[in-house]
Amino acid sequence: MITIRGVHKEFSINGASVTALSPTDLDVSRGEFVSIIGPSGCGKSTLLRILAGLEKASGGAIAIEDGSSSRQRVGFVFQEPVLLPWLSALENVRFPLDTAGVSRAEADNRALQLLKLVGLSGFEAALPRALSGGMRQRVSIARALSYDPSLLLMDEPFGALDLITRDRLNDELLSIWAQTKKTILFVTHSVEEAAYLSDRVVVMTPRPGRIKSIYNVSLPRPRGESTKLDPAFHQLMAELRRDLI
């Protein structure tokens, strides 16, 4: 699905060259859930932003293979919801379709389905300021899914939420992933989140940012409360924590 070869990123601050990302190789298969974890400044967000086309790599090659021919292959969820405050929840979800010239009826239909998928039926007309932080992030996820991208990039999407909301959204994300069969690349700095959600966990280290190791997560799916009691889950979290130091 995604093939990353030798992608790296340097930028200069006051003439001094800083390496944000050392040459990096990574393969992600279709339908896989891969988390990237690491401390601040390890280049995990940079890698994600390069994949989304928000930043240019200094070199290397990225190939995103995709069965569909849609122009918009990548959905992106930011740490903040980034909703347009003058649009209702429904209009925010519809926004990418509206600006792409999709017909009103089709866009409405799609947005209604997606709001239902993220558990926000009944909040179609609400403005973002009337929604809680967790609900706003759900709208943001629905918006990223609106144009049906095969790849979903998530940049610490639940980092600004409280732990209870975060746990609930993790479960909802797994259910959305199971229903939509998207490929998800998920950046986080929470060891628990990475272990709970992923098929594979990529550990990165800072200065210069590079991939240190990759873990296969063999915990059975569907995951839930029993996963959190599984000794293997705790074993994995301990290994990840040790690796991050």
CB of 219 to other proteins, least distance (A): 32
Give the pair of three-digit tokens for residue 91.
Answer: 């209009």
Query: Judged by CB under 8 A, which of 71, 179, 220, 225 binds other proteins?
Result: 71
The contact pattern for other proteins, residues 125-154, with x = CB under 8 A and - = no contact, is --x-x-------------------------
- Considering only the stretches 47-55, 184-192, 195-203, 230-238, report the one whose residues sit in contact with other proteins under the rule CB under 8 A: 47-55
Number of residues in the chain: 245
The contact pattern for other proteins, residues 156-195, with x = CB under 8 A and - = no contact, is ----------------------------------------
How many of the other CB atoms lie within 10 Å of CB of 92? 27
Cis ω before 157 (30° cut-off from 0): no
Q: How far is CA 13 from CA 10, 16, 19, 55, 167, in A?
A: 10, 5, 11, 16, 38
Burial of 56 from C-beta contacts in 10 A (0-12 / 13-18 / 19+): exposed
Sequence-ordered alpha helix ranges (H) in the chain? 44-52, 89-99, 104-117, 133-145, 163-180, 191-197, 225-229, 231-244
Pick between residue 71 and residue 181 the one whose CB is nearest to other proteins.
71
Query: Judged by CB under 8 A, which of 80, 171, 239, 243 binds other proteins?
Result: 80
99 binds other proteins (CB under 8 A): yes
Rule CB under 8 A: which residues touch other proteins? Answer: 52-54, 71-72, 74, 76, 78, 80, 82, 84-86, 95-96, 99-100, 127, 129
